[in-house]
Amino acid sequence: MPTMKTLTIDGMDCPSCSAKIEGAVCGIPGVSNVSLNYTSQKLKFELEGASADSKTVVQTIERLGYKVNQAQGRDDAPAPAWWQTAKGRLVLGAGALLIVAALVAYLAPSFAYPAFSLAALVALFPLARKAVMGALAGQPFSIETLVTIAVVGAVIIDQAAEAAVGVFLFLVGELLELIAAAKARKSVRALADLVPKTAFLVTGSGVREIAAEDLGVGDIIEVRPGGRVPADGRIIAGEGAIDESAVTGESMPKRKRVGDAVFAGSINSDSLLRLEVEKDAR
């Protein structure tokens, strides 16, 4: 029987990173139904057969240059400042090397080529390593591979200064993507905090309280006056004023009736409602 596993992947800064990881994990024998959510950083997959294990998956991902967190709970630790990240330190180091090379070229023009070549190749090393690891994992065609070829080619044809500037600008772009992704994830987590952790599930035997993450599409839930909606759904019984300000920014509550859609995180202001879940809370 297949076993579902979930891992948290750190270090992704663009959707192409998730596609690269998915492709590499899909190529592992015994691994199926691979799905990686770029925003939540959650990798889900199934293991089938005695030869498949999570350790192989973790090793494959780490060879691509990403970190794996196997803890199942949510990580609420604050994100580090950009200069404390590996990419931030790499950008600062590459920038310093570029400045030193420029000073050498100004003071001793005959040493300009070796100075810029050294700056370019040292800054390129982490990218080249990731390109090699990606190729070994079955993902040879990546942006790191293209940048490595371009920079090495520029150095060979005596354009070392352009190579050093090019790799530095690429690293800056990668860092900006990382910062933007971190801000987006912070916003998503803030929105997720609005959703209650429990829900009142309506069954044939009555109403019982369950974890909101256990809700599934088609479940019937009860939202009491003053309570938050635990999952996106549609009203099937009752009507009331729904405060969606925290979700949509709309300042005034909206009157919702049977058939109207309600967003997770909204507040039911004044009456008992029953909803059919249209999207689970996971």
Overall average pLDDT of the 20-45 stretch: 85
Q: Is residue 77 part of a domain?
A: no
**In three state form, how does the secondary structure of 197-238 look?**
CEEEEEECCEEEEEEHHHCCCCCEEEECCCCECCCCEEEEEC
Same domain, 94 and 180: yes
In tens, the pLDDT along 224-269 reads: 999 999 999 999 999 999 998 877 878 889 999 999 999 988 999 8
Alpha carbons 196 and 231: distance in angstroms, whole number: 9
Residues 206 and 222 in one domain: yes
> Mean pLDDT across the chain, nearest whole number?
87
Write out the two tokens for 210: 């369950």
Range of the domain at 177: 82-192
State residue 1's pLDDT score: 67
Is 282 part of any domain? no
Mean pLDDT of 133-159: 90
Query: 75 pLDDT band (50/70/90 cuts)?
Result: low
Query: What CATH number is attached to the domain comprising 215?
Result: 2.70.150.10
Query: Looking at the structure, do residues 87 and 188 belong to the same domain, yes or no?
Result: yes
The conformation of residue 228, written as its DSSP 8-state character, comes to B
User: Is residue 75, in this structure, part of any structural domain at all?
Assistant: no
Kindly indicate the confidence band of residue 201, based on its pLDDT and cuts at 50, 70 and 90: very high
Cβ pair 139, 20 in contact under 8 A? yes
SS3 38: coil
pLDDT exceeds cutoff 60 at 176 = yes
Question: CA angle, corner 180, sides to 96 and 11, nearest 5?
Answer: 75
Contact 268, 242 (CB under 8 A): yes
Same domain? 174 vs 111: yes
* Confidence check: pLDDT of 49 > 80: no
Q: Is pLDDT of 71 > 70?
A: no
Instruction: Answer yes or no: is 147 within a domain.
Output: yes
pLDDT in tens, 2-19: 788 888 888 787 777 888
User: Domain holding 16: CATH number?
Assistant: 3.30.70.100
